[in-house]
Structure 1
Amino acid sequence: MSKLNESKKQYNDIEIPSELEQLVSKSIQTVKMEQKKPSFKKLGIGIAAAAAIFVASVNMSPALAQSLSTVPILGSIIQVVSVQEIIIEEDTYNADLKVPNITGLTNKELENSLNEKYIAENKVLYEGFQKEMEALKEVGGGNLGVVSTYEVVTDTDEILSISRYEANIVGSSSTTMRTDTIDKKNEILITLPSLFKDNGYIDAISNYIKDEMAKEMEADETIMYWIASEEEIGFETIRPDQTFSITADHKLTISFDKYEVAPGSMGVITFEIPSGIIKEELISDYYIR
């Protein structure tokens, strides 16, 4: 049996456990046990064929995708794959949880800490969903739904930004977004405060966002933001841990969860910050230009 077919069989033979922690741990252990690195000669395929298999495999077999990451030519392509997807469909109770996994960093301490965090986030969601589902069943039933997914928002030679979304999909649904931004060359996690000399950036960015909110509302009466004033409670300043990302063209974006600064109908809201208004606050123009 070829190495490729063997990897497919190993993935298809993986049993889905009842608990998220067991499921994720088993997927990770399967990958760690892959000691032999396949080569193109052993697989008997050319570069074009390998690329086709790679595209298909990431979607249908995360374990196979991680196995292929050991191939030198493909290794640099693989940044984030799904460890596993948990789907629960039981009458009016629905959950769809995707667990991302970052691969390819030589800084294993950073790689492991991020992946462990993603596992923990989904474990909390899974256990919370199970508890709420059982509580609803005890009082006669109800509707319950939760979704977690992720998106690679930036992937360049320098930057990897991965956003994770958690959404309650029943009733007045809520959505939260968390983003990690990694310096791929230096293999460090970038935080918002680490980009700036001091806390002066908070007022600079916050004032710009409030001005943009006011302009959007003036231009379109269907748009509504909650801006703090003497009469109203609302958005005043961003937090030091505000969700942010760095785009492929080195621009800073700031994001707000659903309901954080506006009605739920506007969803997750993101503002791109002009580099000119924060230029004097930046430590350097290495990340933001």
Structure 2
Amino acid sequence: MRIILLFTTAMMIIALPVQAQSVYSIQHKDQVREDYEIHIDFPNFDGLINKNLEQEVNKGIKKELEKMMSEVKRAGEESVGIPVLYYGESSVVEDKEFISVILTSNITKGDFYESSVRSINFENEEDGIFLKLEDVVHMDKLNKEVEKKLAKDPETFNLQAFQEVRKDTAYYIQDGKLTLVFDKYEIASGVYGTPEITVPYQHVKKDKPLHKKSIPVPKNV
């Protein structure tokens, strides 16, 4: 009986699913001064296949955050009696080898409040590269899909204000769908925050480049 019990226990351990190790960890940064406050959560990647790409990803994230922090500090110094508050949020969306880092900046100054979103998108492969929105979709097809979505919900979205999807619009891909994350006020009133529009990826998808090569972090990052 003891042998049977040990065998059964061993088989149960073997059958347990192995949890995939995360390729990143979340770090936190705070700076509190009289004229401004900064609170940021951001990912630091330490498990990507391509270590050179990993270094560039982390550098791109920190560069974006440093740019926003610099703007907040400058605004705080120019402010009189009203501190500037900056909350930086982040999320990581993984879809097989495709990874998107969504960075949301929330800035408050008295009654003024705005949010903007940027994304860093790349492939976690040995020859993985950064991929801007225009690298993965046909922009003309994407604009038509977005217009259809906006027109279906005129109470939420402002189709008249929509010109076209910015090439640096934040995005992520998951489960066969492409989601755009717009800045506050860009396509809807402020009560909707940073609205998202999701379209079937297959409808707008562009074929991947046949020959991959390392490319620098996009300038909008």
TM exceeding 0.5 = yes
The question of whether the paired residues in 1 share the 8 Å contact of 2:102 and 2:170 is answered with no
| 3-state SS of paired residue (2:44) | strand
Higher strand share: 2
Match of 2:180 among 254, 261, 279: 254
The list of structure 1 runs, each at least 4 consecutive aligned residues, that deviate by more than 6 angstroms after superposition, is none
Change (3 A) 1:258 1:87: same
CA RMSD in angstroms, aligned pairs only: 2.6
**Distance in 2 separating the partners of 1:156 and 1:195:** 14
Within the candidate set 126, 130, 133, 2:73 is matched to 130
Whether the 8 Å contact between 2:135 and 2:206 is mirrored in structure 1 is no
- TM, length-normalised to structure 1: 0.58
Q: Secondary structure at the match of 1:206?
A: helix
2: distance between equivalents of 1:121 and 1:128? Answer: 11
CA contact (8 A) 1:86 1:98 kept: no
Question: Which sections of structure 2, spanning at least 5 residues, go unmatched?
Answer: 1-12, 209-221
Structure in which a larger fraction of residues adopt helix: 1
1:227 aligned to 137, 156, 159, which one? 159
Match of 1:168 in 2: 107
Q: Secondary structure at the match of 1:174?
A: strand
8 Å Cα contact 1:94/1:145 also seen in 2:
yes
Q: Are 2:41 and 1:98 equivalent residues in the alignment?
A: yes
For residues 276 and 159 of structure 1, what CA distance do their matches in structure 2 show? Answer: 15
**In the superposition, relative to structure 1, how do residues 191 and 126 fare at CA in structure 2: closer, same or farther (>3 Å)?**
closer
Question: Quick one: which of 261, 271, 276 aligns to 2:197?
Answer: 271
Name the counterpart of 2:134.
193
**TM-score between the two structures when normalised by the length of structure 2:** 0.74
Secondary structure in 1 matching 2:145: helix
**Which residue in 2 is equivalent to 1:213?**
150
Match of 1:86 in 2: 30
In structure 2, the residue matched to 1:282 is 206
Please state how far the C-alpha of 1:156 moved relative to its aligned partner: 4.2
Listed as ranges, the gaps of 5+ residues in structure 1 are 1-47, 49-72, 229-233, 285-289
Deviation at 1:176, TM superposition (A): 0.9
2:129 and 2:42 map into 1 onto residues whose CA distance is 21
CA drift at 1:133? 2.4
TM-superposed CA distance for 1:251, in Å, is 1.5
Name the CA shift for 1:128/1:237 in 2 (closer, same or farther; >3 Å).
Answer: closer
Against the structure 1 CA distance between its residues 127 and 275, is the aligned structure 2 distance closer, same or farther, given a 3 Å change threshold? closer
Tell me the distance in 2 between the aligned counterparts of 1:191 and 1:93: 33
User: What is the Cα deviation at residue 276 of structure 1?
Assistant: 5.0
Q: CA deviation at 1:203?
A: 2.3
Partner of 2:98: 159
Q: 1:127 to 1:242 in 2, by over 3 A?
A: closer
CA distance in structure 2 between the aligned counterparts of 1:277 and 1:105, rounded to whole angstroms: 29
Using a 3 Å threshold, how does the CA distance of structure 1 residues 82 and 235 change in structure 2: closer, same or farther?
Answer: same
* Contact 1:202–1:239 (CA under 8 A) maintained in structure 2: no
Q: Deviations over 1:62-93 (max 9, x none)?
A: xxxxxxxxxxx98x522222344224264x74
Given that 2:49 and 2:124 are in contact with CA atoms closer than 8 Å, whether structure 1 keeps it comes out as no
In structure 2, C-alpha distance between the alignment counterparts of 1:125 and 1:180, rounded to whole Å: 15
State the AA in 1 paired with 2:143: S
